[in-house]
Amino acid sequence: MPSCEAAGVVSAQSIGEPGTQMTMRTFHYAGVAEINVTLGLPRIIELVDARKNPSTPMMTIYLKEEYSNDREKSSDVAWAIESTHLHHIGDITTNVSEMKIIVNIEPKALEMRKMTPGEVAMALEVAIGLPVELVDHTLTTAPEEVSYRGLLQLAKKIRNVKLKGIDEIKRVVIRRESDEYILYTEGSALSKILPIPGVDPTRTRTNNIIEMADVLGIETARQSIIDEIMATLREQGLDVDIRHIMLVADIMTCDGEVKQIGRHGISGEKASVLARAAFEVTVNHLLDSGVRGEIDELDGVTENVIVGQPVKLGTGNVKLVARK
């Protein structure tokens, strides 16, 4: 790279120009996995804004060798991860005449999740704090307060009783890719999933860069930013040199935490008053700096453009003295 090259400007142009061609398409089915993921321009904005809660959190879970080639074992891991509530495995009905709630468990759904009716009855008793009667695949219970209102409230509570799995994971899809089974999740909980038996913690990842930083550290977050932006650009058929993306990731993570590129992050922390004012909320920045008596040294690009001086980049950063 030539001396005094405006690397930041070149990177901004190289990412911004293809970015204008990106679609505003928000949802996309990732192959046959049927998992909704945000793509295109909305996804790029999410990443550079370093949002704590992405619109479509998703995890790619790789399995250890003894699980990744066995469909049944990979299914067992998937059911251990996916959040299972009572309404997923049976029909819940109310018997108003007898003031009882009846749960008819679907045997096939129970078998898939490797559970027994006794385990379901025990989990329900613990959750609602009321006795539960089990006959074959039918559970029966009644509210303490014998009223129609109490019956409906209990039915609503029973419907959402969690039996197994992780709350944040709404759905898990298994796909065969290359020579192994991979799990894709709707929802993200990296710290809870890594200790699960069968999960390969060295390859499992989430599309939430803040979560990657919290669980696996800042270097992982940096690599995650690069991977996510590159994947989004490639999906749109755009070719951007990875070194431009690496510069963005470096700037976002250089302080040991993930910062957004915006007035609440990188742009808002610039030393120059004029550079901050040129980005957003101009009047507020000028008023605050005036109150504090800040002095602008005019060292950067933006501030020199504003005052009409040569920018200290390229030929503008070369000083020549003529010999007499």
Q: Which domains does the chain possess?
A: 1-28+40-50+218-261 (no CATH), 84-164 (3.30.1360.140), 267-317 (1.10.150.390)
Place of tokens 């109310």: 94
Phi-psi region at 234: left, alpha or beta (left = phi > 0; alpha = psi -120 to 50): alpha
Query: What are the angstrom distances between the C-alpha of 150 and each of 74, 101, 119, 212?
Result: 41, 11, 25, 44
Place of tokens 């959402």: 160
Residues in the chain: 324
Q: For residue 27, what pLDDT is reported?
A: 54
Q: What tens-digit pLDDT sequence spans the chain (324 residues)?
A: 788 888 888 999 999 888 888 876 555 554 444 677 888 888 999 999 999 999 899 999 999 998 999 898 999 999 999 998 988 888 888 888 888 888 898 888 888 888 888 888 898 888 888 888 888 888 888 888 778 888 888 888 888 888 889 999 999 999 888 889 999 999 999 999 999 999 999 999 999 999 999 999 999 999 999 999 999 999 888 899 999 999 999 999 999 999 999 888 888 888 888 988 888 888 988 999 999 998 988 888 888 999 998 888 888 888 888 887
Residue 19: closest CA among 45, 38, 54, 51: 45
Residue 151: closest CA among 90, 96, 91, 92: 96
Specify the amino acid at residue 59. Answer: M
Report CA torsion sign: 285, 286, 287, 289: positive
Distance between CA atoms of 261 and 53, rounded to whole angstroms?
A: 16
Q: For residue 32, what pLDDT is reported?
A: 43
C-alpha triplet 92, 98, 103: angle, nearest 5°: 20
Q: For residue 25, what pLDDT is reported?
A: 57
Tell me the DSSP string of 206-222: ES-HHHHHHHH-HHHHH
Distance between CA atoms of 278 and 257, rounded to whole angstroms?
A: 25
Q: For residue 90, what pLDDT is reported?
A: 85
Tell me the DSSP string of 150-212: HHHHHHHHHHT-EEES-TT--EEEEEEETTEEEEEEES--HHHHTTSTTB-TTT-EES-HHHH
